[in-house]
Amino acid sequence: MKYQPVIGLEVHVQLKTDTKIFCGCSTQFGAEPNSQTCPVCLGLPGALPVLNRKVVEFAIKAGLSTNCSITPRSIFARKNYFYPDLPKGYQISQFEDPICQRGWLEIKLEGEEPKRIGITRIHMEEDAGKLVHGDVTGLDDGSGVDLNRACTPLLEVVSEPDLRSSDEAVVYLKKLHQIVTWLGICDGNMEEGSFRCDANVSVMPVGSDTLGTRAEVKNVNSFKFVKQAIEYEIQRQIDLIEDGGKVVQETRLFDPNSGTTRSMRSKEEAHDYRYFPDPDLVPLDIDNDWINRIRQGLPELPEQRRQRFVAELGLPDYDAEVLTASRAVAEYFEAGVEAHGNAKLVANWVMGEITRALNDRGTSIETCPVTPIQLAELLKLIDSGTISGKIAKTVFDEMWQSGKAPQTIVQEQGLVQVSDSGAIEAIIDEIMAANAGQVEEYRGGKEKVFGFFVGQIMKASKGKANPTVVNELLLNKLKG
């Protein structure tokens, strides 16, 4: 039998606020355990949570950018369960009436039609603390609890079960990641857990309209692992059904080392969260003025920008896609275009030399030592014929190393292109005299030798000879 996978994703987006969602403790990553805590996030009796306004703003931004409606009155609820990393014995979350509802994102796989993936809801909640095992705690037998992360603001973005393959899931996830980082509401760091994904996976016979029983796969913290975990889980369920077994609704943990998933919680701990409205937090009313102010302050989103790059700057689709991968790249590119004028040329350099240099050094465009203005100046030197495209790459590397202006480097190192035909002719004569044999070969019909001469001439001129002029003069002279 053929099976159709059905996938829905729950993504936890850690918000880039300075303080926690319900108290003024810092959210800075990497501090000494339990040093960023107070009675609220420690869950001490009598402490009252007070909502961080910025969390609501960020949630609205996320909702507006994913085509959601913003709930006029949203409610905070207590989700009750016991776990050592949860000091209050409940997590403040949203259950009925989350802040954003009924949105969608459009994804497009190569060679396929665009497809809308529904977003059921986005709600605000607090993170739990962190459990630490092993030597760092100094405990022989036991676990350590660090509550620095407790009460850190999260958005949970829940998709509809609209995804039909691991590839669709990854594309959707990347799109969501692009939007929240673009908006500046999340740093997007998956290794540090700022963007985490749980996948609900089920399979059903092709043509069926009854969804199969789903398993929830947790702990998938990279795009690669999301693909791996989903593919493993699909195959596990198919094998189970083919062997006459039944899929159990359960939580499974992905193990990145083996690429497999395993059952995580026993039946006794079956979900029974007994949600109820949190008496400590009154309903949150959001008026249209607030929503409109946030809407007006939204940046141009990646999709709009991509379309504008094609329509206004005349870039090919591929270039527009690459240059809107992140807001920083798009902004760098546009600043370059503004300073230079030729969008395609700037695009080639950003996608070529700059990307190569960034990758070589394992860094990102935010820390690029060559500014877009400097890049434009370099490209202008090519336009004016002062340097060749090849020399420009050398100058670019030097700019990266020293931070000097391109004009300075060209002058200091005498890299100005030689276009003067007299000077180039002299070099050509010299090379031809020294390689009389090859000249005969060329004249005898072996035209391949032409490249040899060009190479020798460029070498003799230290790369400074204008290649167009060289080609023209050389051809004339060889033809004699």
Partner 1 sequence: MKITIAEVEHVARLARLELAEEEINLFAGQMDAILEYVEKLKELNTEGIVPIAHVEVLMGSVFPFREDAVQSPIGLDRALSNAPKPAGSFFAVPKVIE
Nearest distance from residue 282's CB to partner 1, in Å? 5
**CB of 223 or CB of 276, closer to partner 1:** 276
CB of 182 to partner 1, least distance (A): 20
Residue closer to partner 1 by CB (options 201, 284) is 284
Nearer to partner 1, 145 or 392 (CB): 145
> Whole-angstrom Cα distance, residue 296 to residue 67?
15
Query: Is there a contact between 263 and 269 (Cβ–Cβ < 8 Å)?
Result: no
Which ranges of 183-326 does DSSP label H, i.e. alpha helix? 223-242, 288-297, 302-311, 317-323
Cβ closest to partner 1, residue 15 vs residue 158: 15
- β-strand partners of 80: 90
Nearer residue to partner 1 within complex by CB, 62 or 203: 62
Shortest distance (Å) from residue 31 CB to partner 1: 9
Contacting residues for 279 by C-beta, under 8 A, at least 6 apart: none
Residue with tokens 């070498």: 459
**Nearer to partner 1 by C-beta: 275 or 450?**
275
Minimum separation from the CB atom of position 30 to partner 1 (A): 13
Of the two residues 48 and 211, which places its CB atom closer to partner 1 in the complex?
48
Please identify, using beta-carbon distances, which residue of 243 and 289 lies nearer to partner 1.
Answer: 289
SS3 of residue 329 by DSSP:
helix
- Please say whether the beta carbons of 190 and 222 come within 8 A: yes
CA dihedral (199, 201, 206, 207) positive or negative: negative
Residue 305 burial class via C-beta count within 10 angstroms: exposed 0-12, middle 13-18, buried 19 and up? buried
Query: Does residue 335 sit in helix, strand or coil?
Result: helix
In angstroms, rounded to a whole number, what is the distance separating the alpha carbons of residues 33 and 324?
A: 38
Nearer to partner 1, 134 or 480 (CB): 134
Query: What is the smallest separation between the CB atom of 150 and partner 1, expressed in angstroms?
Result: 11
* Residue 272 CB neighbour total at 10 angstroms: 7
**Residue 123 beta carbon to partner 1: minimum distance, rounded to whole angstroms:** 17
- DSSP line for 412-480: HTT---B--HHHHHHHHHHHHHHTHHHHHHHHTT-TTHHHHHHHHHHHHTTT-B-HHHHHHHHHHHHH-
Largest CA distance in the chain: 98
Distance CA 271, CA 342 (A): 58
* In the complex, minimum distance from the CB of residue 412 to partner 1, in angstroms, rounded to a whole number: 47
74 vs 159 by CB, closer to partner 1:
74
CB of 18 to partner 1, least distance (A): 5
Angle at alpha carbon of residue 291, lines to 285 and 293, rounded to 5°: 130
Among 238, 162, 172, smallest CA distance to 203 is for 238
Q: 14 and 186 in contact (C-beta within 8 Å)? A: yes
Contact 244, 263 (CB under 8 A): no
**Pairing between β-strand 195-205 and β-strand 215-220 as defined by DSSP bridges:** antiparallel
Of the pair 153, 302, the CB lying nearest partner 1 is at: 153
Nearer to partner 1 by C-beta: 253 or 423? 253
CB of 3 to partner 1, least distance (A): 29
Q: How far is it, in rounded angstroms, from Cα 174 to Cα 171?
A: 5
Nearest to 6 by CA among 184, 205, 147: 205
Q: How far is the CB of 308 from partner 1 (least distance, A)?
A: 32
Name the residues that contact partner 1, by CB under 8 A.
17-19, 23-26, 32-39, 42, 44, 50-54, 56, 75, 80, 82-84, 131-133, 136-139, 141-147, 253, 264, 268, 272, 274, 276-277, 279, 282-285
The CB-of-200 to partner 1 minimum distance in angstroms stands at: 19
Cα 387 to chain centroid, rounded: 36
Q: How far is the CB of 72 from partner 1 (least distance, A)?
A: 12
